[in-house]
Structure 1
Amino acid sequence: MTLWRKALAELLGTAGLLCAVLGSGIMAERLAGGNVAVALLANTIATVFALYVLIEVFGPLSGAHFNPAVSVVMALRRELPAASLLAYVAAQLTGAMLGAWLANAMFDLSVLQWSTKLRGGWGPWLGEVVATAGLVLVILGAPTGKAAQLVACYIGAAYWFTSSTSFANPAAVFGRMFSDSFAGIAPGSASGFVVAELIGAAIGASLHRLVR
């Protein structure tokens, strides 16, 4: 498998993930009649199903990271060649943006837009640390062939037990900036989430080394 094909798999998978997250958020917001809990539940279910399918489909091709924090951890563990890291991250960020644009277009929204949804504060940032640490710990500790199920289940749960609704992914933060919808995040709020996620990824990798 050549690097460009692996990068393409990461681009397509991340695009699919962000399209599912944002598209289901838009649909949920429209149908929930203002009930945020119902909208979040619908958004969660769609994300869990999409994430499971995408990991199963693209896992054999690229490892199905769809997440720069995960790719950095894998590079540090020498499970991803350092020379491939930049290509993976670029593909993930590009895919996240394209997925957001696709979701906007499907729901007759302006394709090019910025989110105005402010998120942040110590509580949500701590939630992102917890969400990302747990995600990395699940990925590294998953038995062979079980990663898709475990990651999807963990993210579904973390939508509800973390104060940030578990972005747990710098590419997801990047993509969500391009949709002014239920699951969006304002560009001004993005940096705090990304820093928290990178800290969480480091904690998750460290915990795995301690318990393995």
Structure 2
Amino acid sequence: MIKVLLADDQALVRAGFRALLRPQPDMEVVGEAEDGAAAVKLAREALPDVVLMDIRMPGTDGLAATRTIAAEPALAGVRVIVLTTFTDDSYVFDAVRFGASGFLVKDIEPAELVHAIRVVHRGDALLAPVVTRALIEEFATRTRDVQPDRRLRTLLDSLTEREREVVTHVAAGRTNDEIAQELYVSPATAKTHVSRAMIKLGARDRAQLVVMAYESGMVRPGWAG
């Protein structure tokens, strides 16, 4: 059973999510929060598998709450999907950098949201295509004049040549199927390389691999793969 925590300051939105998830045989809503501080508190108490987190909430917002949840070792198994009506690039960048495993706009179809919860629960990152492109463009802009993180460079040295190649493709926003086509391997093999790279680097998911690839200098602005 996938335990889901709802965090949104609008009661009507939370009710809509609750009604959507209630019929799902593999999901259970374990709590509702109207601001970021309450979301963190409930996450500590209920230990949900997935948090649906609104960005703009009074007091502690969704970005700050996401950062707190991602930083606590006791909440390492909690995945956050950020939901917003805004598609501002800075929100995408900060949400993923702070530890979100997914970033979706609220006008997605109900079936897509249910799918997103399942995808994130099994350990994959989920970013809408337009969000992935925005994330990469924002990283390219923000890291253009930033010195590479030496600690990350040291971690990257532990990767095999193939794993490094796969990480660069992940940083370009490619799926396992697309990576498999580029490297002439099976999708299962591509997924295995991605998983091994994540384990070696201590990455929570594919989204964090993108962060690491850019901040380490492994991928630089203008790289297209």
The TM-score, its normalising length taken from structure 2, stands at 0.27
Which has more radius of gyration? 2
Q: Which structure's residues are more often helix, by fraction?
A: 1
Higher relative contact order (CA 8 A, sep 6+): 1
TM-score (normalizing by structure 1)? 0.29
